[in-house]
Chains A and B, each alone.
Chain A
Amino acid sequence: MIEVDVESLGVRALNERLHRLPRDTNERLWKITNPKGAHALAAGLDRPLSIEIEGHVGYYCGGMNKQAEITINGHAGPGLAENIMSGVVRVKGNASQSAAASGRGGLVVIGGDASSRCGISMKGVDIVVGGSVGHMSAFMAQAGHLVVCGNAGAHLGDSIYEAVIYVGGEVESLGSDCIEKPMTDEHRSKLEQLLASAGLRVQAARFRRFGSARQLYNFKVDHAAQY
């Protein structure tokens, strides 16, 4: 386990060091202390590392992550794991807005609440939120899964494409072209798999599924009001 105090080393030097590790490195376990809300911590990684961050992080922690497993023992600022390609980013506390924005793969787990725009523009990432999500979550969500154990704020899944949303609690309102869909065995099984990968002991039974009505796929004048 390599321990780094990022307050003294600096984000830039730490990121460079992590980027430069050889592809078959043995230095896989890292502990980062004193993040104190720093931005772009562990951004752009492309190694099978296991990183624990002790404290709260700022914007874009784990941005564009590939392969690495990052755990934040604290809260995260906006854009957590934005455009994640693969690997896992976990935050024990809350995440600010635009968590996993445009994520294309991998898994993002938020133990507490995610703020507004969770999963905005998602393109294949799986997101599991132990708490609730704020308004405009899964806005223009193209692919992947968003699991919300708590409640979802207003305009959930506005302008959604093919992403699938599961919500355990209440939904304040649904966005344009987002509708509730029946839960089949296939969906329940996928949901259980996602909850398990997030390490959450939650019953799948109470969840509801939401997805695209696909009415906006080709412009029709009768749907103009939805734009």
Chain B
Amino acid sequence: MCGIVGLFLKNSALESSLGKHLSAMLSALSDRGPDSAGFAIYRNPAPRGSIKVTLFHPDPDFGWDRLMREMSEEIGTKVRGEARGSHLLLTAAMPVETARHWLAHHRPEVRIMGVGDCIELYKEKGNPKEVVRRFGLEELAGSHALGHTRMATESAVTTQHSHPFSTGLDLCLVHNGSLSNHNRMRRWLSRHGIEFQTDNDTEVAAGYFTHLLGEGATLKEALKSGISDLDGFYTFAIGTKDGFAVVRDPIACKPAVLAETDDWVAMASEYRAIAHLPGADQSRIWEPSPATVYSWQKH
């Protein structure tokens, strides 16, 4: 059980304060999600031919510099990184598969949190207010972001179990609720090539969407399929390179609030998280209907 938030900026003048606003949104939901927090922020598109990879290792003295040097030397292209707390944002001038392969081979102990052109994904154990500070979220600029505060229901409180879960290139998922058929679903997806790190239900949903998207479904089609295939209670928010989507299960017990102005679209589990956004008082506020996909894209 948790809090989820999403913020999509329609007015690029606000991009420099994206991190500041998301930070306040996450803090507002720390009561309903005190165990861990995470966010995915879309910013600084990688140069052509490069890929952005967010990496995590729990050891504060982990040899990131050495990792980058070795990778760069072996592949023969530029690799640079920006450390944030226990995570490193790697930008590597190589195809994504080359990067994945090298990391799996040479640094299997490092966790890949998110991969894409724009996405950066940071998440960790700890009270959301603390986590947000550790990653310096307030200073980050970007076009859109999703976030999550966690109260662990059925799986452990660890960094890996935190949300967002990355489902594919520039894709991520946050979830408020509790699925009820994820164990069998996990076994089926595993047989179809999806790898899981945890016993977490949200990771299964993320894997499910990855699988369908990999089979050629559009995001809307994948989310619609999910409404019938995934059983339980959920509000999902999915981040994409160009925007985000929101969907609720047919019973729709878990909360969800949407708000929109000319400058932004926001989504949250409680209005409290949206209340402080500029123009919130005059925004159009509504609730997403059950079993309906809502999405916003940059044009």
A36 near B286 with CB under 8 A, answer no
Contacts of A116 in B (CB 8 A): 252, 290
- Structural contact, A37 and B290, CB atoms closer than 8 A: no
Q: Is A119 an interface residue (CB 8 A)?
A: no
Contact B276 A36, beta carbon cutoff 8 Å: yes
Q: Report the stretch among A91-99, A188-196, A208-216 that lies at the interface.
A: A91-99
Contact B287 A115 (CB under 8 A): yes
Given contacts A78-B255, A96-B255, contact A58 B289 (CB under 8 A): no
Q: For the complex, what is the distance from the CA of A55 to the CA of B280, rounded to whole Å?
A: 10
Q: Which B residues between 44 and 67 are near A, CB-CB below 8 angstroms?
A: none
Interface size class of B (residues with CB under 8 A): 10 to 19
- Cross-chain contact of B255 among A55, A93, A97, A113 (Cβ < 8 A): A97
Q: A36–B275 Cα gap in the complex (Å)?
A: 5
Q: List 24 A-B contacts (CB under 8 A).
A: A36-B275, A36-B276, A37-B275, A38-B272, A39-B272, A55-B281, A56-B271, A58-B270, A74-B281, A75-B285, A77-B255, A77-B271, A94-B285, A96-B255, A96-B257, A97-B252, A97-B255, A97-B287, A113-B286, A115-B287, A116-B290, A134-B287, A134-B289, A135-B252
**Interface residues as binary, B72-91 with A (CB distance below 8 Å gives 1, 0 otherwise):** 00000000000000000000
Complex Cα distance, B284 from A94, in Å, reads: 11
Name the CB-closest residue of B to A93. B285
Looking at chain B's contact residues, is the secondary structure mostly helix, strand, loop, or mixed?
A: loop
Asked if B151 lies at the interface with its beta carbon under 8 angstroms from chain A, I say: no
The answer on a CB contact under 8 Å between B272 and A36 is: yes
Considering only residues 191-228 of chain B, those with a C-beta below 8 Å from chain A are none
B274 at interface by CB-CB < 8 Å: yes
Closest residue on chain B to residue A77 by CB atoms: B271
Interface residues of A in 54-102 (CB under 8 A from B): 55-56, 58-59, 74-75, 77-78, 93-94, 96-97
Other contacts beyond A37-B271, A75-B271: 18, CB < 8 A: A36-B272, A36-B276, A37-B270, A37-B273, A37-B274, A37-B275, A38-B272, A55-B275, A55-B281, A58-B272, A75-B285, A77-B255, A94-B286, A96-B255, A96-B257, A96-B287, A115-B287, A134-B287
> Is chain A's interface secondary structure helix, strand, loop, or mixed overall?
loop
Chain A: minimal CB distance from B99 (Å): 42
User: Which 9 A-B pairs give the minimum distances between C-beta atoms?
Assistant: A37-B272, A37-B271, A36-B275, A37-B275, A115-B287, A75-B285, A56-B271, A58-B272, A116-B252
Contacts of A36 in B (CB 8 A): 272, 275-276
What A residues does B273 contact at CB under 8 A? 37
Q: What is the distance, in angstroms, from A60's C-beta to the closest C-beta of chain B? A: 12
B275 — which chain A residues lie within 8 A by C-beta? 36-37, 55-56
Q: Considering the chains assembled together, what is the distance between the CA atoms of A77 and B137 in angstroms?
A: 28
Taking CB atoms and an 8 Å cut-off, the chain B residues in 252-290 that contact chain A are 252-253, 255, 257, 270-276, 281, 285-287, 289-290
Q: Give the CA-CA distance A115 to B288 in the complex, in Å.
A: 9
- Inter-chain CA distance A134–B256, complex, in Å, is 14
The residues of A that contact B253 with a CB separation of less than 8 Å are: 97
Q: Which residue of B lies closest to A74 (CB)?
A: B281
Closest CB in chain B relative to A193 CB, distance in Å: 30
B239 to chain A, nearest CB (A): 23
- For A114-149 the 0/1 string (1 means CB < 8 A from B) is 011000000000000000001100000000000000
Question: What mask results when residues 157 to 173 of chain A are scored 1 for a CB within 8 Å of chain B, else 0?
Answer: 00000000000000000
Q: Which residue of A lies closest to B271 (CB)?
A: A37
Of chain A, the residue at the smallest CB distance from B31 is: A39
Q: How far is the CB of A97 from chain B (nearest CB, A)?
A: 7
Report the Cα distance A59→B255, complex, angstroms. Answer: 10
A145 vs chain B, min Cβ distance (A): 24
A31-50 vs B: 1/0 string, CB under 8 Å? 00000111100000000000
Complex-state Cα separation, A97 to B252, whole angstroms: 9
**Chain B, range 223-265, C-beta contacts under 8 Å to A:** 252-253, 255, 257
In Å, the complex CA distance between A7 and B7 comes to: 24
Q: CB-CB < 8 A to A39: which residues of B?
A: 272
Interchain CA distance A116-B270 in the complex, whole Å = 16
